[in-house]
Structure formats: C-alpha cells, structure tokens
Amino acid sequence: MKTQSLLDRQSIVVLALLAAAAILVPVLNGIMAPGSALHLSDHLVPLLGKYICFALLALSVDLIWGFCGILSLGHGAFFALGGYAMGMYLMRQIGPRGVYADPILPDFMVFLNWKELPWFWYGFDWFPFAALMVLLAPGALAFVFGWFAFRSRVTGVYFSIITQAMTFALMLAFFRNDMGFGGNNGLTDFKDVVGFPLQAGATRLVLFVLSVLALAGGYLLCRWVISSKFGKVLVAVRDAESRTRFLGYRVEHYKLAVFTLSAMLAGVAGALYVPQVGIINPSEFAPANSIEVVIWVAVGGRGTLAGAILGALVVNAGKTWFTGALPEFWLFALGGLFVFVTLFMPRGILGSAQDLWERSRQRFRTNRPAEALSPAAE
C-alpha cells in the first residue's frame, strides 16, 4: 500500500464520489419532482445518511485494525456513546413538548418519578457542550481503557476479547433505569436539532450532507495520519511490534493515541446517526454490532481506508435488501460473508482489486509473475 502522499489517486476518487453524493442526493430528493423517475424518495435520505455514518464508523475501525493491528470488538460502544451524547442534547431540546410537559426533565425521568436532572445531564442543553462531549465521552473511555490495556501489553485476541467484555458491560449498564439514560427504551421522540425540526425534509438533507462532510473529513484525517511518519510507526507496530519497541518507540503511546482518535471518530459517527434514525438505545452496545463493523472493514479491504467505506456501504445495502426480501436468509448471508472473506478474500474487495491491478501491471512490465505478497501478519 502506498502511504506516501496525502492525496493519491484513491483519495481523489473517494473525495469525488463523496462530493457527488453530497450534491446528487439533495438534488434528486429536493429538486426532482416526486413521481419523476429520478426522484429519490424521502425515506431513502435518512437511510443513506445512516449508511454514511456506518462508513465513518468502519473507517475508525480500519484506522486501528488495518494500520495498527488492533482488533477492537467494542467500537460499537464508542459509536453508541457519541450517539448518547447527541441523544441527550436532543432530549433537552424537546423541552416542555414531552408527554409529561416537564420543562426540564425528559419524559423517562418524570416517569421514573425523578425530581431533578442528574448532574451528568447538565450542559447538554447547550449544543457546543454536547458536541464536545460527542468527542470527549468516547475519547475518554478509549483513553482510560487503552491506557490500562496497552501499558500492560494486552494484545491480539486478548485485547479483542476484553473490548468485547467492555461493550457488553456497558450494554448491561445502560439497560439499567437508574443509570439515567432511559433504560432499555433509550432516548427517543426527538423534536428538533439546533432549532430545525427533525421531521422536515430539508433538515434531513442537511444532516445527510453533514454526514458526508464528516466522512470526507474523517477520511482526510486518517489519510493524513497514516501518511505521516506516525502512520509508518503504526504499520511497523502492526507488522513487528517488538522490533518497533527495540527501535526505541513507546508502542503503547502510539496505540493509545490512535485508539483514542479512532474512538472519537466513532463517536462522531454515532452522533450523526442518532438524529437521522431518531433513537438511541442500549442495543447499540451489543457485542454483535461491533463484530459486524469489523466484517464491513474486512469485506471492503482492511488497511485501505476507502475499502472500509466501500465495505460498510455494500454490506449495509445488502442487509437492507435481505431483510426486506428474504429476512430468514440475512444471517446466513452475513455468516457466510464472515467465512468467505476471511478464507478467500483476506484483503477484501479493494485489496484484491489492488493486487490484481499490480500483478497485471508487473506482468506487463517485466513479463514475469510478481512475488506473492505475504498478507500482513498480526
């Protein structure tokens, strides 16, 4: 993989496609008359927006798994935390329009007979604070968790398993009513965001465009990180951790930095996801969700960034189709995908395409088969 320049050909293609999406979706939905063949129906806008958020989440997983070899099976937790931070803001925005019309307390707190707002809900009525928490809540959790884990050199599958335990523990915690996050119903019945009604088509289009911009920004950020010397160190850690250590790099600092950054990206994805789907509940913490993200990355191509985006879009589009047309077969298809990709396409769609391209080019140049590329080890 080439990590030399910030804007290589792949990046330009990715950014161009994202720009096209950001322009086409509003045009097709907002300007084309309903009923015209080119009209994009209203319910598809938040669906596409959801895919884009998933793509950003996949990107964050690829950053650590593809480039640093850290397989997190708990990234759904960071996504959900970002989502909850946004959800708390949206709850406060409801104000007295809730069922119980309490000016301060969200409905579920009135229902639980709470008298005042818990301290950790303070400030969430102010958007900049909520936006900050979208980054800080997942970032802080990742920092603390990573600090403990990386310092004591928990690696490989052990790390994967404890991240899974982490998200499982959080799921159990958020299911509890007395945690103050709405228990198993989660946060929902949102009305508007920074003054714009969430049900309005225009708001949804703006949210979609914002998601695309966030994805593009996230992509550029990851691109910048991995094309720096920092990124080279990450790859070095992935391929030969103890060598990197003996060269004098504090591997745990690098892992901690990239893990925290990745968690924040996941948090942003979650924050954009919540207003578009209209709900956040503890099932977002389910371990199965986090593993599913990993398979998006694997399908698209681990360690390629663009592949993560592609994988998230392809698998989720497939999921939408399957659950509509053949609901019983979705789990067969998803399970089969896990097996197929790991066995036959370890480099994913994009990685395999790259291999094919390079091989044919080398054959063309030297008329000699290229040495098989050894797949990246742990």
Partner 1 sequence: MFCLRHLLRAVVLLVGFTATAVAGPYEDALPKFSAGSYSETDEAIGAVASSGHPMAQAVIEALQDGRLLAGNGQVFIRDPSGGLVNAATGQAFGAAPADLKPVRVNNRVRRAIEAALGGLTLLSPNAGTRMEAARAVFRSRDEAALPNLDKAVGQEGDAGVKQALQEARAAILLTKADASAEDRLSAVSTLRARGDQDALALLSNLSADSPPALVAAAQQAADAVRSRLEFWSAVQNVWYGISLGSVLLLAAIGLAITFGTMGVINMAHGEMVMLGAYTTFVVQELIRTYSPGLFGASLFIALPLAFLVAGAVGILIERSVIRFLYGRPLETLLATWGLSLILQQGVRTIFGPTNREVGTPAWMSGAWEIGALSLTYNRIVIVVFAFSVFAVLLLVLRYTSLGLFVRAVTQNRRMAGSMGIRTSRIDALAFGLGSGVAGIAGVALSQIDNVSPNLGQGYIIDSFMVVVFGGVGNLWGTLVGAMTLGVANKLLEPYAGAVLGKIVLLIAIILFIQRRPRGLFALKGRAVEA
Partner 2 sequence: MNAPVTPSLLYLDNVTVSFDGFRALNALSLAVDHAEMRAIIGPNGAGKTTMMDVITGKTRPNEGTALFEGTYDLTALDEAAIAELGIGRKFQTPTVFDMHSVEDNLLLALKEERGPIATLFSRRTREERERIDALLERVRLTAHRHRKAGELSHGQKQWLEIGMLLAQEPKLLLIDEPAAGMTDQETADTADLLRDIARTKAVIVVEHDMTFVRDLGVKVTCLHEGSVLAEGSLDAVSSNERVVEVYLGR
Residue 334 binds which entry of partner 2, partner 1, none, CB below 5-8 Å type-dependent: partner 1
The dihedrals phi and psi of 242, each to the nearest 5 degrees, come to -75, -30
Nearer to partner 1, 221 or 334 (CB): 334
Residue 63 to residue 233: CA distance in whole angstroms: 13
Q: Does 147 bind partner 2 (CB under 8 A)?
A: no
Backbone φ, ψ for residue 249 (5° rounding): -85, 135
Binding at 165: pick from partner 1, partner 2, none (beta carbon under 5-8 Å per type): partner 1
Site for partner 1 in 71-90 (CB under 8 A): 71
Residue 353 CB, nearest approach to partner 1 (Å): 20
- Closest to partner 1 by CB, 32 vs 172, is 172
Give CA separation, 240 vs 60, 148, 300, 301, 375, in Å: 22, 21, 24, 21, 13
Cβ-Cβ contacts under 8 Å for 40 (sequence gap 6 or more): 25, 28, 29, 32
Instruction: By CB under 8 A, name the one of 257, 277, 314, 353 that touches partner 2.
Output: 257
**Contact between 243 and partner 2 per CB under 8 A:** yes
E-assigned strand segments in 109-198: 187-188, 192-193, 196-197
> Least distance in Å: CB of 69 to partner 2?
11
Shortest Cβ 260–partner 2 spacing (Å) = 11
User: Cα 66 to chain center, whole Å?
Assistant: 14
Identify the residue whose tokens are 């499982």: 168
Q: Give the residue, chosen from 164, 244, 276, 354, that forms a contact with partner 2 under the rule CB under 8 A.
A: 244
Tell me which of partner 1, partner 2, none is bound by residue 154, counting a contact when its beta carbon lies within the kind-specific cut-off of 5 to 8 angstroms.
Answer: partner 1
Q: Structure tokens of 280?
A: 């956040």
Q: For the segment 134-163, give every residue that binds partner 1 (CB under 8 A).
A: 145, 148-149, 151-158, 160-162
122 binds partner 1 (CB under 8 A): no
Interatomic CA distance for residues 162 and 54, integer angstroms: 23
Question: Taking CB under 8 A as the rule, does residue 228 contact partner 2?
Answer: yes
192-193 and 187-188 beta bridge pairing: unpaired
Whole-angstrom Cα distance, residue 185 to residue 282? 8
Question: What residues make contact with partner 1 under the rule CB under 8 A?
Answer: 71, 145, 148-149, 151-158, 160-162, 164-166, 168-169, 172-173, 175-176, 287, 291, 294-295, 298, 328-329, 331-332, 334-339, 341-343, 346, 377-378
